Amino acid sequence: MTQLVERAAHPLQLSLPLPLTAHPVSVYLGTLRPNSVPIVRRHLDELAQILTDNQCDAMTLNWGQLRYQHTASLRAVLIQKYSPGTVNHKLCALRRVLREAKKLKLITLEDYSDAIEIDSVRNHQPSLKGRALSSLEIQVLFTHLLELSTISSFRDAALLAVLLGSGLRRAEVVSLDLADFNHSTGGIEVREGKGGKNRTVYLPDWGTSLVVQWLNLRGFRPGPLFYAVNKGQRIVKRRMSGQAVLYILQKRASDAGIEQVSPHDLRRTFISGLLDAGIDLVTVQKLAGHSDPATTARYDRRGEEAKRRAANTINAPF
């Protein structure tokens, strides 16, 4: 008589279920917007299945037991299956869960540091210069900054909110003074922008809130809207440079596990987002400060999916 052999539990499987408040996946998913949760959960389930030969999902895997050999092998497997952008999204989710595991004392700082020491995947295929950030990348970046709760992180969150929420160039952002910002309307007066032109742009409510949060730390004396902050977290009443903005964004993105990004990519994300939302090209052109709408159109990185959706708006003739 044939006997059934029970499959042994995988070494990376949790021996006992964790309370949701102590589970790194549950805690991480709780920081995301509701529409991002199913996507990220599928990413994490897949990672768990790869590591355990389909024996575990995201909730039954013991994430605190992951080491560099596990994360490096995951990266290698994902590279064989997906495009660089998709791989990087999955690796970003992996790093965030491990970060929560560290904060929950499920993994030591040394093991955590080694485990996340995996490079993002570069896209060696010819492509258009620059990119638009995904909604998940944006959420991860701002969540990372606000969780740090330092003077510089609040300043940087406000700075990036202006870049992303109004589409300003970095030279325009560092030229702003306190008087150029209207906290009641979220309006920003851009004086002597590119081509010597003035224009008014508006921040979304969330962007206005982040700038006001920074101003409560900065104070409301006249001067540059964004001051430098030294390593001791003291505000230095000195105007920032455009190069400093580039450095800050690259460092913050790297720390959050996001692939390489530039200030102009935030501007591109702003423009693409407005076009994707159905805002007409002329209005977007004015907000972006372009003299020619053809220049604005070149920033569009919505890809083939947007073209497909546009084609489907045409009613059938029968």
List pLDDT tens digits, range 130-168: 788 888 899 999 999 999 999 999 999 999 999 999 999
Sequence-ordered strand ranges (E) for 196-277:
199-202, 227-229, 235-239
Rg (CA), the chain: 23
Which one from 23, 43, 169, 301 is the annotated catalytic residue? 169
All structural domains of the chain: 20-116 (1.10.150), 135-262 (1.10.443.10)
What band does 300 get if pLDDT is binned at 50, 70 and 90? Answer: low
Q: Where on the phi/psi map is residue 17: left (φ > 0), alpha (ψ -120 to 50), or beta? A: beta
Kindly report, residue by residue over 209-233, the tens digit of the pLDDT: 999 999 999 999 999 999 999 999 9
For 71-112, the pLDDT digits (tens) are 999 999 999 888 888 898 899 999 999 999 999 999 999 999
Active-site position among 131, 267, 268, 301: 267
CA distance 131 to 71: 26
Cα–Cα distances in Å, from 1 out to 4, 5, 24, 252? Answer: 10, 13, 44, 63
Q: Which of 264, 286, 298, 302 is catalytic?
A: 264
| For range 7-11, the mean pLDDT | 83
| Residue of 70, 194, 239, 298 with catalytic role | 194
For this structure, is 267 an active site residue? yes
Query: For 101, which DSSP code?
Result: H
Catalytic-role residue among 28, 43, 299, 301: 299
Helices 135-148 and 242-255 pack at an angle, to 10 degrees, of 100
pLDDT at residue 72 in the model: 93
Catalytic residue status for 191: no
CA distance 266 to 114: 30
Active site residue 299: yes
pLDDT tens digit string along 107-131? 999 999 999 999 888 765 444 467 8
Q: At residue 170, what is the residue type?
A: R
**Mean pLDDT value across the chain:** 87
Would residue 67 show up in a list of annotated catalytic residues for this protein?
no
Cβ burial 44-71 (10 Å sphere, 16+ → b, else e): bbbbbebbbeebbbbbbbbbbbbeeebb
Q: Please say whether the dihedral angle defined by the alpha carbons of residues 105, 153, 88 and 244, taken in this order, is positive or negative.
A: negative
Q: CB under 8 Å to 308, separation ≥6 — which residues?
A: none
Q: Which of 89, 155, 290, 301 is catalytic?
A: 290
pLDDT recorded at residue 50: 95
- Residue 315 predicted with pLDDT over 70: no
Active site residue 194: yes
Please give the backbone phi and psi of residue 237, each rounded to the nearest 5 degrees, phi first: -75, 70
* E strand spans, 87-198: 181-182, 187-190
